[in-house]
Amino acid sequence: MFFLTPALAAIGVFFFVPVIAAFVMSFTDFDIYSLGKIQYARFIGLRNYLQLVEDPLFWKALRNTLYFLVVGGPLSIAVSLAAALMLQAKLVRFTSFFRTALFAPVVTTLVAVSVVWRFVYHPRYGLLNYALSFVGVSPVDWLGDPQWAMPAIILMAVWKNFGYNMIIFIAGLQNIPPQLYEAAAIDGAGRWQQFTMITIPMLAPTTLFISIITMIGYFQLFAEPYVMTQGGPLNSTLSIVLLMYQQGFRWWNMGYSAALAFVLFVFILVASVLQSRLQKRFGT
């Protein structure tokens, strides 16, 4: 018991208690006045949640977050798989160099690379527009145009994250018995057939695992818009966590912010349960 006490005490007091407290808080009007004197907070039942449903900003943030998730998630998984396949092709040399290079963005500090990408996306002096000018694309105001701001954030997130899932895919690929490919080759299956009939099905459990962790991570979009766009332009990159941060720690509407946090939690929970159901169904 001696060994467990520190960990359980820390997790209990600084994780489970706050989770329950946040739940209670989401039914109160906890605000800047309650910050000084907790007695000022009153129970207001479901009013925060009702207010949420009527708040156009919440729907905007939810739509943006889902946009980021639904486009960015699969895109980053596809890039990860492609990179893993390239690295697993029977190369003679440089595999470890390429692996390190492709993985490097994962370990970088999100805030720092967001600062870097803000300049890469600069409409006049940015590298991206300059590179695109060679193929005849006229300059895009990536972060200043409500249409392009979210795609720009997605592109950066894919760049930053794909290396992580690439490594997990490599582990999955290494687990496929080579005999399967040999047998298929003897039966006359081509490269593409081997890919669709062996690689894809054998990677299903890995892909599912990756989908879950990617989705949970992408729901929590925050630092990229905070640094690159502050949620703009016209709230086109406002995410749920950014809205939660603004409501809670800038305007001190902590009751309302707690309700937002729980909505985020419910979304993550539902999506995780759905995906683990899928996992069971496919018997992995």
Partner 1 sequence: MKRHVGMALVYAALAVTAAVTLAPLVWMVSASLMPTGQASSFPPPFLPRQVTFEHYASLFTRLNLARYLFNSALLAVAVTLISLLVNSMAGYAFAKYRFRGRDPLFKLLITSMVIPAQVTMLPLFLMLNKMGFINSYIGVIIPGMASIFGIFLIRQFAMSIPDSLIEAARIDGASDFRIYRSLILPLCKPVLITLAIFTFMGTWNDFLWPLIVMTDDSMYTLPVALATLSLEHVQDTELMMAGSVMTVLPVLLLFVALQKYYIGGIMASGLKE
Q: Which of residues 130-189 bind partner 1 (CB under 8 A)?
A: 130, 159, 163-164, 167-168, 170-172, 175
Q: Does 59 bind partner 1 (CB under 8 A)?
A: no
Evaluate whether 246 touches 58 at the Cβ level (below 8 Å).
Answer: no
In this chain, which stretch among 47-55, 87-95, 145-153, 193-201 interacts with partner 1, using CB under 8 A? 87-95
List residues bridging with 43 in a β-sheet: 28
Minimum CB separation from partner 1 for residue 97, in Å? Answer: 8
Question: Is 120 an interacting residue with respect to partner 1 (CB under 8 A)?
Answer: yes
Structure tokens at 4: 């467990």
Instruction: Measure CA 271 to chain center.
Output: 13
3-state class percentages of the chain: helix first, strand second, coil last, to nearest 5:
75, 0, 25
Tell me the two tokens of residue 24.
Answer: 């209670």
Residue from 68, 72, 219, 221 touching partner 1 (CB under 8 A): that is 219
- Scan residues 261-280 and list those touching partner 1 (CB under 8 A): 261-262, 264-265, 268-269, 272, 279
Residues 194, 212, 72, 106, CA torsion sign? negative
Least separation in angstroms between CB 218 and partner 1: 12
CA distance 185 to 176: 15
Among 27, 58, 68, 117, binds partner 1 (CB under 8 A): 117
Which residue among 226, 229, 243, 246 contacts partner 1 (CB under 8 A)? 226
Among 40, 49, 103, 148, binds partner 1 (CB under 8 A): 103
Q: Which of 39, 107, 136, 186 binds partner 1 (CB under 8 A)?
A: 107
| Residue 281 C-beta: closest distance to partner 1, Å | 15
Total binding residues toward partner 1, as defined by CB under 8 A? 93
- Residue by residue, DSSP assigns 142-187 as TTTSHHHHHHHHHHHHHHHHHHHHHHHHHHHHHTS-HHHHHHHHHT
Q: Which of 8, 46, 183, 234 binds partner 1 (CB under 8 A)?
A: 8
Rg (CA), the chain: 23
The enclosing H or E element of 278 equals helix 254-281
SS3 state of residue 28:
strand
Which of 62, 70, 116, 243 touches partner 1 by CB under 8 A? 116
**Is residue 35 at the binding interface for partner 1, with CB under 8 A as the rule?**
yes
